[in-house]
Amino acid sequence: MSNKKCLCGHENPFGTILCEQCGRPQTDEAKKSKLVDMRYEGSARRSQTYKRSIIDRVWNFFSSVKVGISIIVAVLVTSAFGTLFPQKLYVPAVTDADIAAYYERLYGFPGVLYYELGFYDMYNSWWFITLIGMLGTSIIIASFDRVIPLYKSLKKQRTKRHVSFMSRQRIYGIGSVNDTDVSLGKAEKKLKELRYNVKIEDGAILAEKGRFSRWGPYVNHTGLIIFLFGVLLRGLPGFYVDETLWLREGEMRAIPGAPGFYIENQDFMIELYSKEEDEVFGDAIDRVGAIVKNYQTDVTLYKEAEDALLGQSDKLEFVKDYSIIVNKPLNFEGYNVFQMDYRLDELKSMTFHLTEKSTDRSFGEFTVDLTNPEPTYELEEGARVELKDYFPDYDGIEDGEPKTKSPVPNNPAFIFKMVTSDKPEGEMSFVAIQQTLETEVNDYKVSFVSADTRDISGLTVRKDKTLYILLLGGIIFMIGVSQGSYWNHRRIWIQKGEGNELLLAGHTNKNWFSLRKELDQVRDYANLPQYEDREDTESFEQQNGDNS
């Protein structure tokens, strides 16, 4: 596998198709073909040259664009399947059984299948992650396979090319002119005007522009790899925090995931658009009903004092007051706290009063704090009410015992013992919203007066150190993709042939009409021979048709 020497004297690496310097075809196949394949300049690529060991085979597999495209399409198709039914994340159920039931209830058999196949959590499945991994591998290997040889041959190319190279270009012309030197001189001037880099050697011109656009794909692939690397990093501890926090009005809590920080909910509010204030929206409000204008939680952020023991929350330092609204998270030390959700009007406290049934005599009112109830409430004239039992989320009676569904005070119920001077041993009463039950007929009763409510704000706490890596990947991708898309690599070769003949050839990696537009300007100005675009016979026929 040694290097091969071209007729021009240049030593090409094994596997070269077109001589790096003069462009003479090196392989039999290239010699036979009418047009040369200019991709990667006919350079020797590893994947095309070595095909034996296992490493070669793996390398060749991943460097193949056919394989690369298959992987892209596989990701595309699996992603599409994942949108058929909602993903697990968007299913309002927590346990596996509930999730399975959800799919079955709404989607029937296809839903069951979707669940069983694991499509309900598509994007975290091992095969999806494997596909992404293969995509990354493929991008890396395919890029290395091409970029180095491409770089070398573009660097080494000579101005004067061999005729067999010129005549195998897609744009090619040959013809006699009055004075070759005058034409070459004028061509040089015009090409420079069109902002080509012009090199001259021994009666030959090489005009080139936009070579840097050839590196676009490699730059954008680098950006993609950086992005994928960033995504990979979030699996590591410390890089990524994602917690939720429900915070009642007036409540202060440690921020989960952010040790040493505390947050207090001063006030939560929700604002609707009104027809009076926002007149232009009148029709829309009439059509769809109330539209929310703003959710907002006014919070105070505290930090544990430096000298405090961890978890000792009595030594707090004020950090700042902030109003968290959607699209405006609270930021501190790399953390973001977002306004995500809310629950309005959770019961906070209930006020009752104690009366004697027959006379309506009142012993005064008492207020039960529903998150922190007290065992006894002292009233007037020596009366008191004892709270014997409390069911925050009363859910009916089971086996003779009242039940609570959750510790959240959605539907509070109480067993009160009413003690008065008449009845020092007390009377029992079960009080729930809208009902009072008595085991025996009582003389006294506790009746509901009023309730106080408060709102709960749903907050999400995030820290994501990878964001900057992702952003960097995105920016590099954009640079590379713009470089490759908005600039093209164009080359024009002009050289003397025999006698008064001039040879003309052109190549671009994309947008041939734009190259031809420029070439026509040069040709008109320098009186160069007519050329043809061997892939577009239509235009030339049409042109002739129009002239006739």
Partner 1 sequence: MELASLSANLLLISFVAYFVATLFFGGAVKGTKSEASYKSNRWGKIAIVITSIGFVSHVGFFITRWIVSGHAPVSNMFEFITAFAMMLVGAFILLFYLYRTPSLGLFALPIAIIIIAYASMFPRDIAPLIPALQSYWLTVHVITAALGEAILAISAIAGLVYLLKNVDLTKKSKQRFWLESIIFTLILVFGFVLSSTTFTITGYEAKFSFIDKNDNPAQIVYNYPPLFGMNEYESLTPDTMKPFAEMPAIVNAKTLTTFVWSLLVGIVLYLIIRIILRRPVATMLQPFAKKANSKLMDEIGYRAVLIGFPVFTLGALIFAMIWAHEAWSRFWGWDPKEVWALITWLFYAAFLHLRLSRGWEGEKSAWLAVIGFIIIMFNLLAVNLIIAGLHSYA
| Span 8-67, contacts to ligand HEM by CB under 6 A | 65
Taking CB under 6 A as the criterion, which residues in 68-97 touch ligand HEM? 68, 71-72
Q: How far apart are CA 270 and CA 342, in angstroms?
A: 9
* Residue 71 or 370 with smaller CB distance to ligand HEM: 71
Contact letters for ligand HEM, residues 246-285 (x by CB under 6 A):
----------------------------------------
Interacting residues of 406 by C-beta distance below 8 A, sequence separation 6+: 392, 393
Binding residue count for ligand HEM, defined by CB under 6 A: 15
Question: Is residue 142 close enough to count as binding ligand HEM by CB under 6 A?
Answer: yes
Helix (H, G, I), strand (E, B) or coil at 267: strand
Interacting residues of 18 by C-beta distance below 8 A, sequence separation 6+: 24, 25, 26, 30, 36, 41, 42, 43, 153, 165
**Shortest distance, position 221 Cβ to ligand HEM, whole Å:** 6
- 497 touches 477 (CB < 8 A): no
* Residue 485 or 500 with smaller CB distance to ligand HEM: 485
**Shortest distance, position 50 Cβ to partner 1, whole Å:** 20
Which of ligand HEM, partner 1, none is residue 139 near (CB under 5 to 8 Å by kind)? Answer: ligand HEM
Which of partner 1, ligand HEM, none is residue 478 near (CB under 5 to 8 Å by kind)? Answer: partner 1
* Residue 281 or 448 with smaller CB distance to partner 1: 281
Which of ligand HEM, partner 1, none is residue 295 near (CB under 5 to 8 Å by kind)? Answer: partner 1
Which of partner 1, ligand HEM, none is residue 82 near (CB under 5 to 8 Å by kind)? Answer: partner 1
Residue 390 pairs with which residues in a beta bridge? 414
From 458, 459, 461, 515, select the one nearest 489 (Cα to Cα): 515
DSSP single-letter state for residue 251: -
- Segment contacting ligand HEM by CB under 6 A, of 131-139, 340-348, 442-450, 526-534: 131-139
Interacting residues of 283 by C-beta distance below 8 A, sequence separation 6+: none
Which of ligand HEM, partner 1, none is residue 138 near (CB under 5 to 8 Å by kind)? Answer: ligand HEM
From 418, 419, 420, select the one nearest 429 (Cα to Cα): 418
* Residue 197 or 485 with smaller CB distance to partner 1: 485
Helix (H, G, I), strand (E, B) or coil at 490: strand
Angle at 391 between CA 390 and CA 394, to 5 degrees: 150
Question: Is residue 204 close enough to count as binding ligand HEM by CB under 6 A?
Answer: no
**Shortest distance, position 120 Cβ to ligand HEM, whole Å:** 25
Q: How far apart are CA 114 and CA 402, in angstroms?
A: 40
Taking CB under 6 A as the criterion, which residues in 483-502 touch ligand HEM? 484
- 494 touches 502 (CB < 8 A): yes
Q: How many CB atoms lie within 10 A of CB 186?
A: 16
Q: How far apart are CA 159 and CA 207, in angstroms?
A: 9
Can you point out the beta strands (E) in 273-426? 292-304, 316-325, 330-332, 335-356, 362-369, 376-378, 384-391, 394-398, 401-404, 413-419
Residues in the chain: 548
From 262, 297, 243, select the one nearest 463 (Cα to Cα): 243
**Shortest distance, position 289 Cβ to partner 1, whole Å:** 11
**Shortest distance, position 336 Cβ to partner 1, whole Å:** 7
Among 42, 217, 409, 506, binds ligand HEM (CB under 6 A): 217
Which of partner 1, ligand HEM, none is residue 14 near (CB under 5 to 8 Å by kind)? Answer: none
Question: Is residue 503 close enough to count as binding ligand HEM by CB under 6 A?
Answer: no
Taking CB under 6 A as the criterion, which residues in 374-433 touch ligand HEM? none
**Shortest distance, position 247 Cβ to partner 1, whole Å:** 15
- Segment contacting ligand HEM by CB under 6 A, of 220-228, 344-352, 416-424, 519-527: 220-228
Q: Two tokens at 469?
A: 């890596």
Beta strands 532-533 and 316-325, pairing class: unpaired
Q: Closest-CB residue for ligand HEM?
A: 68
Contact letters for ligand HEM, residues 446-485 (x by CB under 6 A):
-----------------------------------x--x-
* Residue 67 or 319 with smaller CB distance to ligand HEM: 67
**Shortest distance, position 95 Cβ to ligand HEM, whole Å:** 36
Q: How far is CA 514 from CA 39, 189, 238, 441, 521, in A?
A: 19, 19, 52, 99, 11
- Segment contacting ligand HEM by CB under 6 A, of 214-222, 334-342, 412-420, 491-499: 214-222
Q: How far is CA 158 from CA 70, 119, 162, in A?
A: 38, 56, 10
**Shortest distance, position 43 Cβ to ligand HEM, whole Å:** 11
**Buried (b) or exposed (e) across 395-434, using 16+ Cβ within 10 A?**
eeeeeeebebeeebbbbbbbbbbbbbeeeeebbbbbbbee
Question: Is residue 154 close enough to count as binding ligand HEM by CB under 6 A?
Answer: no
Which of partner 1, ligand HEM, none is residue 293 near (CB under 5 to 8 Å by kind)? Answer: partner 1
- Segment contacting ligand HEM by CB under 6 A, of 27-35, 217-225, 328-336, 382-390: 217-225
Which of partner 1, ligand HEM, none is residue 127 near (CB under 5 to 8 Å by kind)? Answer: none
The dihedral over CA atoms of 133, 134, 136, 142, expressed in degrees to the nearest 10, equals: 160
Question: Is residue 138 close enough to count as binding ligand HEM by CB under 6 A?
Answer: yes
**Shortest distance, position 327 Cβ to partner 1, whole Å:** 4
Interacting residues of 471 by C-beta distance below 8 A, sequence separation 6+: none
Residues that bind ligand HEM (CB under 6 A): 65, 68, 71-72, 135, 138-139, 142, 146, 217, 220-221, 224, 481, 484
